[in-house]
Structure formats: structure tokens, C-alpha cells
């Protein structure tokens, strides 16, 4: 049997790689097990860019975690020299009473975050690529921007390895069990023991964490890249903002400036228009009718963007009924197992602070960060999709960035 570790981390995507870094930085003997290779594209932590923002319309309770995440992303860039974050400014667009606008404004006011409110003419003047309707407004936040998911995962893995973590790729866990005062983890290659286990399963949560009692839904989502009709210059970061845009029917899209040169165009995607899938059955092919649907939608909001379709990619969101996260000590194994899952498509911006939280919980059993919203025993996390609906405090739809 292999040597005993202090902590075994299952899954080395966004959250698991951050956990491995923060645990090993505190001197823990860490084993990381990953089903695929390093920085893979089979889950959710890929696609070249993710939005980061602070005026958080999902719930003001997230803001303290975001502020800490911003600090940790800066630390990560300094420690590794990697390109991680670009704060180019962004707008949350919609009617004044839309969730995207009103929720963002609520968080900005509650936490005294710098922001501006723009009417439609001002949006058009400042950002000529955007064509809002006359009754639409935007919250502009200079601190909004984008993150590089692949670079973020690679940076956390780099630091974890530098700090002595033992990271095994292409070695999936087959099962685990309580063992003495800790856990025993089995793979096809070996059996490992540790005092603690951290499980970051991504889209595999419905299979690996059934005993949490949370009805996770895995959704197939598509990201698209277009070459703008008039070239990328109007869509460069100094001219074109990150945006989340909710139309009158409640449909949301999000998009980015062109950040990777003329051959890569600008990225855009729908929120919450995916379909249920599993990691084993996901359709990785993007179909013509999907490209047509996003192009038709964009033609009324960013009319120069859907010029030439360049490429598309799929990813998966693992969603809870109330679309809030699950981060906690496992209720059935509180002394040995910590879980982080159900990030519902808006989790990547929290990656480094989630890693910090997981290290806290695994090593000390508690954290100073506010994570009460993420308790798997909360009633809203256990609603079924067969007719139950969340309350106004836990909306059923939201931006997934």
C-alpha cells in the first residue's frame, strides 16, 4: 500500500487544482487524482475565457468571496508569471427591472462597489459595437473582465507540484471508503490512504455524491467564436467590453472582446439554454441550427459580430436547483471528507478562493469565509425538478459565466 497522505484531492480541474495548491502551500502532504490529463477540455474549465465581475446579480452574499478571489488571482499571476486576468471593463445590460441589471445594482450598492449606470444612448456612444433598445440600460463596472481558465488551472498545478504535491493524471478514482481515522481511495493502479479527502468532481457529482441528497443536473453548453463583419479592431478589449445581456423575454447571452488575434474572433454564448446530458453521453458536435440560433439572437444586440462563424466548443454545467454552490464538509463524513460541486455555470471566477476554503475545511474543519449559502442541507438545494420551484430569493435562472 502506498504511503499515507494528509489529503487526497479528487479532480484537478479548476477547483481541485486550486485546492491542491492551497493545501500543499500549508505543508500538507497532498495526492491529487485526475481522470484525464492536465488542463483537459472534457469538463468545465476550458474555453479560453471566463467572465469575472463583482457587482454580482446572483446574490450579494458572493461579493466578499469575489473580492478575495481578485486578490488571489493577482497572487497567482505574480507567483507563476502566467497571463490569468484581464480587467477590461464590462456591462450588465437589460431593462431596469431585469435580474441582470437590478441584481447587479443591488450588489453594487450593498457593497459600495464602483459602478456607473448608463442609458441606451450612452451605451451606444461608449460602446458602438452594442445596440441596446431604447428601454434598456446597463451597469458598467470597470473591474469586470475575463479570466484564462486553462492558464489558471496550469498555474495552480504548477504551484502545487513546486510545493511537493503528488499529482497523478489519467488515474481516475474507482471508489473510496472510510478507513481507520481517515479514508482509503482506490484506483485501477493502486490504493491510497489519507487523513482527509477533498472531492471536486465537476460533472461527475451526480454519480460520485449521490448521498448528498442534492439533485444535480448536468447541462451541455456551447461556446461560439465569430469573426466580426468589419474585422476585430472594434472588438479589441480597449473598445469592446465584456457583457452579460438579458433581453425582454429573460434570455441571457454573454460575450467577450477579441483577445486572441484575428484568427480567433470574439467569443459569445447563451446562458441556461443547454440541455441535460451526462459526461459519458454529451454530444460534442455543434450543429448548424445552434450556430444559427446564436447568430440570429446577436443580430439585434451586437450586429457586427455574427459575421463568419469560426468554431465552437462544448462544456458542462453541473447545476443545483437554486443555482448556488455546494461547498461543505460532507454531512455523512464531516471529520474526513470535504466536497465542492454544483457550481451551476458561474463558479470559475471563484476558483482560487474556493481552493482556500477547501484547504481551511480539510485541515481545520472550519473557514472564516462566508459559505452558509452553500450548505448542501439547505432546503432550496433539495428541490426537485418535477414541479417544485425556487422562491424569489433563490431564482430559477441566472447568468452562467
3-state secondary structure the chain: CCCCEEEEEECCCHHHHHHHHHHHHCCCCEEEECCCCCCCCCCCCCCCCEEECCCCCCCHHHHHHHHHHHHHHHHHHHHHCCCCEECCCEEEEECCCCHHHHHHHHHHHHCCCCCEEECHHHHHHHCCCCCCCCCCEEEEECCCEEECHHHHHHHHHHHHHHCCCEEECCCCEEEEEEECCEEEEEECCCEEEEEEEEECCHHHHHHHCHHHCCCCEEEEEEEEEEECCCCCHHHCCCCCCEEEEECCCCCEEEECCCCCCCCCCEEEEECCCCEECCCCCCCCCCCHHHHHHHHHHHCCCCCCCCCEEEEEEEEEEEECCCCCCEEEECCCCCCCEEEEECCCCCCHHHHHHHHHHHHHHHHHCCCCCCCHHHCCCCHHHHCCCCCCCCCCCCCCCCCCC
DSSP lists the bridge partners of residue 5 as 194
Q: Is the pLDDT of residue 19 over 60?
A: yes
pLDDT of residue 98: 98
Q: In this predicted model, which residue has the larger pLDDT, 393 or 123? A: 123
Mean pLDDT along residues 251-278: 93
Instruction: Indicate if the pLDDT at residue 118 is higher than 80.
Output: yes
- Residue 16, annotated as binding a ligand: yes
Is position 31 annotated in a ligand binding site?
Answer: yes
Per-residue pLDDT tens digits for 141-182: 999 999 999 999 999 999 999 999 999 999 999 999 999 889
**Mean per-residue pLDDT for 3-24?**
96
Q: What is the mean pLDDT of the chain?
A: 93
User: What is the biggest distance separating any 2 CA atoms in the chain, rounded to whole angstroms?
Assistant: 68
pTM: 0.94
The answer to whether the annotation marks 239 as part of a ligand binding site is no
- Does 9 appear as a known binding residue? yes
Q: Which tens digit of pLDDT belongs to each residue from 50-96?
A: 999 999 999 999 999 999 999 999 999 999 999 999 999 999 999 99
The answer to whether the annotation marks 86 as part of a ligand binding site is no
| pLDDT(385) > 80 | no
Q: Give me the pLDDT at residue 383, please.
A: 64
Q: Does 3 score more than 60 pLDDT?
A: no
Average pLDDT over residues 200-214: 95
Q: With 70 as the cut, is the pLDDT of residue 378 above it?
A: yes
Q: Is 49 known as a binding-site position? A: no
Find out whether 35 is annotated in a ligand binding site: yes
pLDDT at 304 over 60: yes
pLDDT mean over 12-35: 98
Question: Is 17 known as a binding-site position?
Answer: yes
Q: Which one has a higher pLDDT value, 386 or 348?
A: 348
The residues with which 338 forms a beta bridge, in sequence order, are 198, 329
Q: Is 14 annotated as a binding residue?
A: yes
State yes or no: 26 annotated in a binding site: yes
Confirm whether residue 268 is marked as ligand binding. no
What is the per-residue pLDDT for 394? 36
Q: Tell me: is residue 136 an annotated ligand-binding position.
A: no
Residue 11, annotated as binding a ligand: yes
The annotation status of 6 as a binding-site residue, yes or no, is yes
pLDDT of residue 272: 79
In this predicted structure, which of 198-207, 231-240, 377-386 has the lowest mean pLDDT?
377-386
Section 323-345 average pLDDT: 96
Q: Is 23 labeled as ligand-binding?
A: yes
Known binder of ligand: residue 330?
Answer: no
15 annotated binding-site participant: yes
* Confidence (pLDDT) at 384: 55
Is 286 annotated in a binding site? The answer is no
29 is in an annotated binding site: yes
pLDDT recorded at residue 262: 82
CA 224 from centroid of its chain's CA atoms: 17
Amino acid at each position: 500500500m502506498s504511503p499515507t497522505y494528509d489529503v487526497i484531492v479528487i479532480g484537478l480541474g479548476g477547483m481541485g487544482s486550486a485546492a491542491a495548491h492551497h493545501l500543499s502551500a500549508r505543508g500538507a502532504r497532498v495526492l491529487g487524482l485526475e481522470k484525464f490529463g492536465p488542463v483537459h477540455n472534457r469538463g468545465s474549465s476550458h474555453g479560453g475565457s471566463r467572465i469575472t465581475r463583482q457587482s454580482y446579480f446572483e446574490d450579494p452574499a458572493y461579493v466578499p468571496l469575489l473580492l478575495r478571489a481578485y486578490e488571489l488571482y493577482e497572487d497567482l499571476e505574480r507567483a507563476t508569471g502566467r497571463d490569468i486576468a484581464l480587467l477590461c471593463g464590462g456591462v450588465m445590460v437589460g431593462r431596469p427591472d431585469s435580474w441582470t441589471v437590478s441584481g447587479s445594482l443591488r450588489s453594487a450598492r450593498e457593497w459600495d462597489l464602483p459602478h456607473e449606470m448608463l442609458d441606451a444612448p450612452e451605451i451606444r456612444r461608449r460602446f458602438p459595437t452594442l445596440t441596446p433598445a431604447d428601454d434598456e440600460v446597463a451597469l458598467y463596472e470597470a473591474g469586470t473582465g475575463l479570466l484564462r481558465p486553462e492558464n489558471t488551472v496550469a498555474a495552480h498545478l504548477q504551484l502545487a507540484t513546486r510545493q511537493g504535491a503528488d499529482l497523478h493524471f489519467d488515474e481516475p478514482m474507482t471508489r473510496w471508503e472510510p478507513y481507520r481515522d481517515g479514508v482509503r481511495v482506490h484506483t485501477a493502479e493502486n490504493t491510497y490512504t489519507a487523513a482527509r479527502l477533498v472531492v471536486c468532481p465537476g460533472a461527475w457529482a451526480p454519480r460520485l455524491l449521490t448521498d448528498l441528497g442534492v439533485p444535480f443536473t448536468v447541462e451541455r453548453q456551447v461556446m461560439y467564436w465569430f469573426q466580426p463583419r468589419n474585422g476585430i479592431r472594434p472588438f479589441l478589449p480597449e473598445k469592446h467590453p465584456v457583457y452579460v445581456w438579458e433581453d425582454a423575454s429573460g434570455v441571457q447571452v454573454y460575450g467577450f472582446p477579441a483577445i486572441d488575434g484575428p484568427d480567433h474572433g470574439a467569443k459569445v454564448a447563451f446562458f441556461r439554454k443547454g440541455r441535460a446530458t451526462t459526461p459519458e453521453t454529451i454530444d460534442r458536435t455543434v450543429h448548424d441550427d445552434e450556430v444559427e440560433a446564436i447568430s440570429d439572437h446577436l443580430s439585434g444586440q451586437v450586429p457586427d459580430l455574427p459575421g463568419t462563424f469560426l468554431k465552437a466548443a462544448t462544456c458542462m454545467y453541473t447545476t443545483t436547483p437554486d443555482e448556488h454552490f455546494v461547498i461543505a464538509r460532507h454531512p455523512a463524513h464531516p471529520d474526513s471528507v470535504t466536497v465542492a460541486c454544483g457550481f451551476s455555470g458561474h463558479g470559475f471566477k471563484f476558483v482560487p478562493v474556493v481552493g482556500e476554503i477547501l484547504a481551511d475545511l480539510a485541515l481545520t474543519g472550519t473557514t472564516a469565509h462566508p459559505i452558509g449559502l452553500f450548505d448542501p442541507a439547505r432546503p432550496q438545494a433539495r428541490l426537485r425538478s418535477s414541479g417544485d420551484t425556487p422562491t424569489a430569493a433563490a431564482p430559477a435562472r441566472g447568468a452562467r459565466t
